A and B are shown apart, each in its own frame.
Chain A
C-alpha cells in the first residue's frame, strides 16, 4: 500500500431506498487521495458528489466497498467511532457556513475541541486563537456571528475546520453564498493552508472556475467517476 495515500476508496457504492424505489447514488467509486493533495470533486446536482463527500467526511457509511483513511478501514466503524474520526481528522466547511448563531467567533472555533477529551480548556482557547489568526481574523474573536460579514463567517468556519489540525478539510461549495471577490479571498485561504501547512483540501463544487484552482480534479456523473484531471489548467 502506498504510504503516502491519505484516502483510498475501493469500489464504494451507496444505495438509498426512497419508499419502494432504490436509488443508486454511488455505483462503485475507486480513487486514491494523497497527503497534501488539493482536489476538486465536480459534478452536476444528482451526480452523487454530495453522497461521496458525506462518505469521505465520515458522516455516512457506504453500502458496500472499502474506505481507508490513513490506512484504517473506517467503512467498518460505528457511529461513535466515526464521530471520533470527524473530531480528530476531518474539518468541514459548508456553503451556508453552519455556525452557531449568537455565539462568538472564538466559541465557534472552539467547538470541535469541546468534544475532544484530550484537550484542556486552556489549550483549546490557545488553539482557537491561533486558528483565527491563521484565517486573518485576529482581533475579531469576540464578535458574534450575527455581527460579521459572509466572508468573515466563512473564515470562522475555516478556522473551526482546521483548529484540531485535521488531516483533511472538506469544503462543500465554500464560495456558493459569497460574491466573487470574497469567494476568491476564501479560495486564497484554502490554497495557503494547502501549500504552507500541507493540509489536504477537498473542494466539492459545480463551479468550473472554482474547480480549476485545485491541481487535481475528479468528475463524478451518475454515481461513477467520469474523468480525472491533473495539473493546473489556469
Chain B
C-alpha cells in the first residue's frame, strides 16, 4: 500500500469522527499556538531592548563609583569618591572622549500652581542632550555658564509638562521643585515610552551643580555619562578614562579600581541575556502544553485502536501486513498533529498580533519559531502515535476478527 493511499485511508478514518478528531488536535493547536505566541513576546522584548539601546547611541560610556567586582550592588548614595573634577579631567585629557556629563539623581515633589507631580530629578551637565541623543520639543537646554553658576533652571519631560501645565506652554514659567523656584527653559520631545526603566518622559533635568547644592546637599557626583568621539573609539576611550581615573584616585598598580567604566554594548548584552532567558522560559512553559497535547493524541489513538480492533482484523484478513496497519495508525496520528500544528501556527500568529495590539507589547514571530513549533508537533505525532499504532499492528488477525 503506498503512502498517498494510506494518507487517504487515514483522512477518511479521521473525518468519520470529526468532533473527536478536532478535540484531539486541539491539544496540539493550543500547544503550538502558545509556543509561537510566547516566543514572539520574548523575541519582541529582545528587539525592543536592542532598539532602545541603539537609540541611546553606541558610543555611550558610563563611569560609576565602586569596583566592578561588586556588580549590581553599587547604589547611588553609597559611594562618594567620584567628583566633578574627575569629569573635567576626563574631558580635558582623553582624546577619544567628546562629551562628558556629571550626573546626580533624586526624586522630588514638583508644584505648579494647583498641580502636583512627583518625578525623577536628573542633575546633568550641559552636554547631556548630545550624549543621550535627546531632542527638545520647545525651548532650549541650559548652557555651560548656567551649570557653573548653579542656576535654578529646568527642562521638563513631556509627561511632566502635560501634567503640570495641561497643554499650555511652560516656557518661562516658574515651577517649584521641593519648594525652590525653577524657571522652565525647555520641554523634551516625547519618546512615547511608558513604564519600564529609564522613562525619558517622566523626569526633569536640572544643572547637576544646582541639584548637588540646592536639592541633595552633596559634593560628590553619582555617575558620569560620556560620549566617545565615535563608536569605533569607545574601547580606546574606556582605557583612557580608566588610566586617568586611576592616577587621579591614586590607585596603586595591581590594586582594584574604585570605579567602573562600562560601555553600551556591555549593558546591552546583559539586557539581551535576560530577554533570552525570558524567551526560553516562556517557550518552555508553552512546550509543556504541547507535550500534554501529544499525550492527548496518544490517549485517543489508544481508544481508537481498541474501538477498531474489528476493522484491523478485517484489513488483516484481506492482506494488510503489520507494516500497513502500523503506517495507517501512525499517519492518522501524524495527520492529527500536523493539521493541529498548522492551525496552531494560525492561532499563534493571531494571538501574537492580538497581544501586541491590546497589551501594547512588541511581538515578533520568526520563521524559525514557526518551523520549530511545526517540526515539534510533527515529532509529537510520531512519538505519541507510535505506541498505539504498534499495538494495532501486533494484533492477531483471528482474535481481531472475533473481537466483539
Contact = CB atoms under 8 A, between A and B. Distances in A.
Interface of A: 54, 57, 59-60, 79-80, 83-84, 86-88, 92, 94, 98-100, 102-103, 111-112, 114-117, 121, 160
B319 A117 contact: no
Interface centre among B1, B16, B314, B315 (most CB of A within 10 A): B314
Given A100-B314, A102-B16, A115-B324, A121 B319 contact: no
Nearest to B323: A80
A59 B315 CA distance: 12
A133 to B, nearest CB: 20
Contacts of B311: 100
11 contacts: A59-B317, A59-B401, A79-B321, A80-B323, A92-B317, A92-B318, A98-B310, A98-B313, A98-B314, A100-B311, A114-B9
B397 interface: yes
Contact of A87 (B314, B318, B397, B401): B318
Contact of A117 (B1, B318, B322): B1
B5 A121 contact: yes
A117 B2 contact: yes
B320 interface: yes
Contact of A83 (B9, B16, B320): B320
Interface of B: 1-2, 5, 9, 12, 16, 310-311, 313-324, 397-398, 401
B317 A115 contact: no
A86 B5 contact: no
A25 B2 CA distance: 38
Contact of B319 (A94, A99, A112): A112
Given A80-B321, A98-B401, A114 B1 contact: yes
B310 A116 contact: no
B2 A59 contact: no
A83 B401 contact: no
B317 A98 contact: yes
Given A94-B401, A102-B16, A160 B318 contact: yes
B166 to A, nearest CB: 72
Nearest to B17: A102
B318 A115 contact: yes
Contact of B318 (A79, A111, A121): A111
B11 to A, nearest CB: 13
A99 B313 CA distance: 11
Listed residue (B316, B317, B320, B321) with the most chain A CB atoms within 10 angstroms of its CB: B317
Nearest to A60: B398
Nearest to B311: A100
Contacts of B324: 115
Interface pairs A-B: 6 shortest CB-CB: A87-B319, A112-B318, A83-B321, A115-B319, A86-B319, A80-B321
Nearest to A157: B314
Contacts of B12: 103
B38 to A, nearest CB: 40
Nearest to A91: B318
Contacts of B323: 80
B397 A116 contact: no
A80 B322 contact: yes
A111 B8 CA distance: 13
Nearest to A88: B319
Nearest to A81: B321
Contacts of A112: 318-319
Given A94-B401, A117-B1, 18 more contacts: A80-B322, A83-B319, A83-B320, A86-B316, A88-B319, A98-B314, A98-B401, A99-B314, A102-B16, A111-B318, A114-B9, A115-B1, A115-B315, A115-B320, A115-B321, A116-B319, A117-B2, A160-B318
A79 B322 contact: yes
A223 B321 CA distance: 29
Contacts of A84: 319, 321
Nearest to A108: B314
Contact of A111 (B313, B315, B398, B401): B315
Given A98-B313, A100-B311, A86 B318 contact: yes
A63 to B, nearest CB: 15
B17 to A, nearest CB: 10
B347 to A, nearest CB: 30
Contacts of B319: 83-84, 86-88, 112, 115-116
Contacts of A111: 314-315, 318
A112 B5 CA distance: 13
Contacts of A121: 5
A117 B311 CA distance: 20
Contacts of B315: 111, 115
Contacts of A60: 398
A62 to B, nearest CB: 14
Contacts of A99: 314
Q: Which of A83, A112, A117, A121 is the most central at the interface, judged by chain B CB atoms within 10 Å of its CB?
A: A83
Contacts of A86: 316-319
